[in-house]
Every structure is written in C-alpha cells, then in structure tokens.
Structure 1
C-alpha cells in the first residue's frame, strides 16, 4: 500500500516542514542522506505517514515535508537513538536546520 501526503484541513495530522540551508555542492548529498534515513528508520517509527523532499533550484535549500499521525508520534521519534543519528548527520551537512510543526488550516484543491 502506498501512502502519500494528503493536504486536508479536516485531517488531524502533525505536519513537519523542515528547512535545511546547504551549500549547493552538498544539496544532493543531504537529500540522499534524508532519503536513506527515511527508508531505514523514519518510516518504521510509530505514527509515521510520509516524507517528501524538495530541492530548491539554486541548490541552497532542501525542504522536508513530512506527516505524522500526531505531534506525540513526532516527539517520540525525536527521542529514538537511531533517528537521532540520522538527524545529527544531516546537521553536519546543512549549515542551518529549521524544523517546525504545522497544522493544515486551509486547503484549496483545483477539483
């Protein structure tokens, strides 16, 4: 079963938007690390729904858009030693990391 991000203001999920600032020559390295961490660790954590990675055209930013069933699931993941290893590795590649939790309050699909 494939689960994808669903942007729905009626769905009570915790949305992580994490903005990484990175040197352009390290952008792909960071994305590879985040993808590997997701496959090996994050997607096996309780409450994980999905993660998506976005690369800025100028090479200076990577955005992680991830969803968790609840804020508590996200906070529990932060205490997991395996997850911490990956997060610490990402912090050595990025020059700035700005994770924030959000709730979708409005969504406007075309259809």
Structure 2
C-alpha cells in the first residue's frame, strides 16, 4: 500500500501587529529551508480578514517524510524557533477519498 500524502495544518492566533512579521518568517523558512527538504510537496499561507488568524497548510509525500523534517530541520532551525514563539497549534490530516 502506497503512503498517502500528509497535510499539516498549523494555526496561529495573532495579536495586533504580528501578522506581517509571522508571514515573512514563514515565507523565509519555506523558501530557504523547507522547499529543499526531501518529501516536501507544497505550502500555502491563509489569513482571516481581520488578520488575527494565520493558517499555514503544507503537504508532504508521507508521514515519514514529515517526521524526518521535524527531527532533522524544524527542531534545529533558528527560523523555526522564531515561528514557534507565535504559539502555533498543529494538526496532521489525510485526504479522504470520496
């Protein structure tokens, strides 16, 4: 059985003035570090109209690729540590076939 792609949804509840800083950090992290990591497929950033919620949606080839990324890059990256200061919550989900 082939591994299903993993979709990782990271949500941030933001205070006034945090949106632009966090968006820039996430873009920098994905452009400089994550996009080159094996198993990474894509990422998107979404925000609500008020700018108080930011959602980062990333797709990985498998759970194993994502866990390898967490252990080898995300846990050591200075940019990732700065992003963690914004108190993210995270869900890992799989697409359900209709």
- TM-score tier after normalising by the smaller chain length: 0.7 to 0.9
Q: TM-score, normalised by structure 2?
A: 0.87
Where structure 2 has 5 or more consecutive residues not aligned to the other structure, the ranges are: none
Alignment of 1:62-73 (within 5 A): 62-73=54-65
**Over aligned residues, Cα RMSD in angstroms?**
1.6
Q: Which of 31, 34, 59 is the equivalent residue of 1:42?
A: 34
Superposition TM-score, scaled by structure 1 size: 0.77
Structure 2 SS opposite 1:39: helix
**Number of equivalences:** 94
Taking the aligned partners of 1:104 and 1:45, their CA distance within structure 2 comes to 22
Partner of 1:98: 89
- Give CA-to-partner distance per residue, 1:10-57, whole Å, 9 cap, x none: x92000011011213111110110000000000111100001001111
Give the corresponding residue for 2:53: 61
- Alignment partner of 2:4: what SS? coil
Q: Which runs of 5+ in 1 are unaligned?
A: 1-10
